[in-house]
Amino acid sequence: MTTDLSAPNVPQSEGSTTTAGRGKRPRPPFGVSTVSLLAVLIALFSLIPLGYVLYMTAATGWDTVVDLIVRPRVGELLLNTVLLMVFTVPLCLGLGVGGAWLVERTRLRGHRWWAVLLAAPLAIPAFVNSYSWVSAVPSLEGLWSGVLIATLSYFPLVYIPAAATLGRLDPAIEQSAASLGLGSWAVFFRVVLPQLRIAMTGGALLVALHLLAEYGAFAMIRFDTFTTAIMVQFQSTFNGTAGNMLASVLVLLCLLLLLAEVKSRGTARYARIGSGAQAKAIRLPLGAYQLPAQLALLALTVLAFGLPLWFVLKWVMAGGSDVWAAEELIPALSQTLMYGAAGALVTTVVAFPMAYLAVRHPSWFSKMLELSNYITSSLPGIVVGLAFVTVSIRVVPGVYQTAGVLIAAYVLLFLPRALVNIRAGLAQAPKELDEAAQSLGKTPLESFFKVTLRLTAPAAAGGAALVFLAIVNELTATLLLSPNGTRTLATEFWSKSSEIDYAGAAPYALLMILLSAPMTYLLFQQSKKVAGQ
């Protein structure tokens, strides 16, 4: 991600003065202490899953922990998980960066269409992708099948930030390198690629975390990972000690990935701070490579998006009108929309205090509070689900399997999606306007609602849309925490596909894709706006 160092322009009336950069910070709507207290409470709440893992590990006893972790089964799961990441992450990086470079830096015919099509696979949940591939090749199972499905499902997580970054990079550096005699490939590897480090490391982290968290896609092809093993343990022994220890290993892997991403990100900055307008990138001619590039992108799009959509539609047609039973579909759709909307709204509201503190009153304290949310959101849904199962049963048994607990889990899992967007919106809402409103007699609360909130609303809406998309496709935490009788599109799809009722599962898959498609397009467009396009 690049950084825009330009200060926002604040309109001034004749004879007025501005105190940009020197004025006092506007008072927050409820006072600094209240906003800080809310942010602290949110941070403490977000640490429940991590605290659960630490508590269960300590309560189990060191000898038992060693016996449960140092055993062949854990070694097998660790090997499967590591190999999955070793093969999948580089493939996603290659496809994501390669696709982004073709779309943004070459004279690729139809590059605007390809830009959208390469992001489209995000609209198809990984477990629906797996369902489609098993329909096409019933014998799929094991590591290489997992690598295939995961790569086709998650490469857009690298492509989208890489394309946005390439669109923002100042081509003057590339032109200078070319004028010094470097060829196109040398410019790419020595100039362009290093500037994609942040996008690549961030995308690789997202892919790796999704690999650790994914359950449905790998369970369907009978490939064992920590997440599938934990779910089996939970279903057989209901929160047994062995499952908790597997969860502790999974959490450790997540934390190691976060540390590795921070370490590999580096400290270099690629923002353009010079005067004058940024030059427009010169697209490189593909020449004889035009046809191979078109065929490669076509093959990738067909495998990642076309094939899953085709088999979903095929099963829908095979099932006929019987699979569209309103008494089953309407409750699942309505509850999905209800949980998605409620979770998105609550998550967006919860994100505001922390985002306000981080933007308007930045400090090491606000950074630490924000970091706590990122740590929790990196944990797989199954770990968050197990934490809420244990806490709700032991501490507040009356709330176990209630809608409130499920929405709380959604908030912890997807809070950063709203937080990042609200931070960007607040950063673009000049504090001078808030100061002016308060100087004209408005209370901090009035100025917040009439000025800051109105300017931040589009970014907040974008964050809410991304949270909604995540909730629609969430499976593991919903399976663990949903109240009895709850039917969502994801859980109903999983129930029917687990019974090999592929025709019955198809309408739920199709509805998830239809709900996810506009949100995926919004994510793609938002990344372009952040990149300054």
Query: Does 462 have pLDDT greater than 90?
Result: no
Kindly state whether residue 5 falls inside one of the protein's structural domains. no
What per-residue confidence (pLDDT) applies to 6?
39
Identify the domain containing residue 79 by its residue range: 47-271+289-530
Kindly state whether residue 36 falls inside one of the protein's structural domains. no
Mean pLDDT value across residues 34-55: 85
CATH number, domain of 100, equals 1.10.3720.10
Secondary structure (3-state) at 275: coil
**What are the structure tokens assigned to 380, written together?**
């797989």
73-119, pLDDT tens digit by residue?
888 999 999 999 999 999 999 999 999 989 988 889 998 899 999 99
Query: Does 261 have pLDDT greater than 60?
Result: yes
Q: Which region among 24-28, 29-33, 224-228, 273-277 has the lowest average model confidence (pLDDT)?
A: 273-277
123-175, pLDDT tens digit by residue?
899 999 999 999 999 999 999 999 999 999 999 989 988 888 787 776 666 66
Could you tell me which residues are beta bridge partners of residue 284? Answer: 106
Kindly state whether residue 25 falls inside one of the protein's structural domains. no
Mean pLDDT value across residues 282-305: 90
Comparing 345 with 192, the larger pLDDT belongs to 345
Query: Does 326 have pLDDT greater than 90?
Result: no
Comparing 26 with 158, the larger pLDDT belongs to 158
Kindly state whether residue 365 falls inside one of the protein's structural domains. yes
Mean pLDDT value across residues 44-56: 86
200-256, pLDDT tens digit by residue?
888 888 899 889 888 999 999 999 998 888 888 877 765 567 777 888 888 888 888
What per-residue confidence (pLDDT) applies to 372?
78
What per-residue confidence (pLDDT) applies to 3?
40
Kindly state whether residue 281 falls inside one of the protein's structural domains. no
Q: Which residues contact 517 (CB under 8 A, 6 or more apart)?
A: 120, 123
In terms of pTM, does the model score above 0.85?
Answer: no
- Average pLDDT of the chain is 81
Mean pLDDT value across residues 15-38: 58
Tell me what percent of the chain is helix, strand and coil, each rounded to the nearest 5: 75, 0, 25
Kindly state whether residue 253 falls inside one of the protein's structural domains. yes
Mean pLDDT value across residues 364-376: 79
Mean pLDDT value across residues 42-64: 84
Mean pLDDT value across residues 488-510: 91
408-424, pLDDT tens digit by residue?
999 998 988 888 778 77
Q: Please give the tally of structural domains in the chain.
A: 1
Kindly state whether residue 11 falls inside one of the protein's structural domains. no
What per-residue confidence (pLDDT) applies to 170?
64
Query: Does 297 have pLDDT greater than 70?
Result: yes
Query: Does 277 have pLDDT greater than 70?
Result: no
Give 11's pLDDT tier (boundaries 50, 70, 90). Answer: very low
Q: What's the DSSP call for residue 284?
A: B
Amino acid in the structure at residue 413: L
Query: Does 337 have pLDDT greater than 80?
Result: yes
Comparing 154 with 26, the larger pLDDT belongs to 154
Asked if 207 and 92 touch (Cβ cutoff 8 Å), the reply is yes
Query: Does 199 have pLDDT greater than 70?
Result: yes
Of 217, 360, 181, 197, give the one whose Cα is nearest residue 270.
197
Query: Does 22 have pLDDT greater than 60?
Result: no
Of 87, 128, 154, give the one whose Cα is nearest residue 216.
128
Say how far residue 199 (Cα) sits from the centre of its chain: 14
Kindly state whether residue 507 falls inside one of the protein's structural domains. yes
Task: Give the count of alpha carbons within 13 A of 173, CB side only.
Answer: 18
Say how far residue 264 (Cα) sits from the centre of its chain: 20
What per-residue confidence (pLDDT) applies to 279?
56
What per-residue confidence (pLDDT) applies to 131?
94
Of 3-17, 144-158, 161-175, 389-403, which has the strongest mean pLDDT? 144-158
Q: Phi and psi of 106, rounded to 5°?
A: -125, 165
What per-residue confidence (pLDDT) applies to 449?
67
Whole-angstrom Cα distance, residue 381 to residue 392?
16
What per-residue confidence (pLDDT) applies to 524?
76
Share of the chain above pLDDT 90, in %: 27
Query: Does 454 have pLDDT greater than 80?
Result: no
Sign of the alpha-carbon torsion through 299, 304, 308, 309: negative
DSSP string, 352-414: HHHHHHHHHS--HHHHHHHHHHHHHHTS-HHHHHHHHHHHHHHT-GGGTT-HHHHHHHHHHHH
Whole-angstrom Cα distance, residue 28 to residue 30?
6
What per-residue confidence (pLDDT) applies to 315?
93
